[in-house]
Amino acid sequence: MKPEDVAVWDRFIDTNPAFFDSVDYNYPLGEGVDVGEDEPETQRRGFQILTQKKVDVVGYRADGVTIVEVKPIADMRGLGQALSYSHLFALAHPEAVPLSRMVVAGEMERDLEAVYAAQGVLFEQA
């Protein structure tokens, strides 16, 4: 997360300390890039992890898993990331049900509340 995202997340956690039972930060998803067999295995794996997509937060509760994107403003980019990351997470972890999506932000860009709702992405203001 960028520093401005961390500030939003800190406000959310301060207000909702028990929202999740546990969390993972910068959770890697997708395949990443394999630089090839000519490179040492540690370098191959390191580059693969470096080039994977990263979810800001994966939140765990007894009733399911939540993919969380953290932004200063909940916009279309955050919506797309939440949808894309939840799809990649579901591919990697089909056992993680129910799987929900959420964007935590200081505010929401105008005209998007209905779009978020239609896509099943929760919005939490922090």
- The DSSP code sequence of the chain is --HHHHHHHHHHHHH-TTS-SEEEEEEEES------TTS-HHHHHHHHHHHSEEEEEEEEETTEEEEEEEEEEE-HHHHHHHHHHHHHHHHH-TT--SEEEEEEEEEE-TT-HHHHHHTTEEEEE-
Structural domains in the chain (count): 1
Taking the model in full, what pTM does it have? Answer: 0.90
Q: What is the pLDDT along the chain (126 residues), one digit of tens a residue?
A: 899 999 999 999 999 999 999 999 999 999 988 888 888 888 888 888 889 999 999 999 999 999 999 999 999 999 999 999 999 999 999 998 999 999 999 999 999 999 999 999 999 999
Range of 11's domain? 3-125
Q: What is the CATH number of the domain that holds 55?
A: 3.40.1350.10
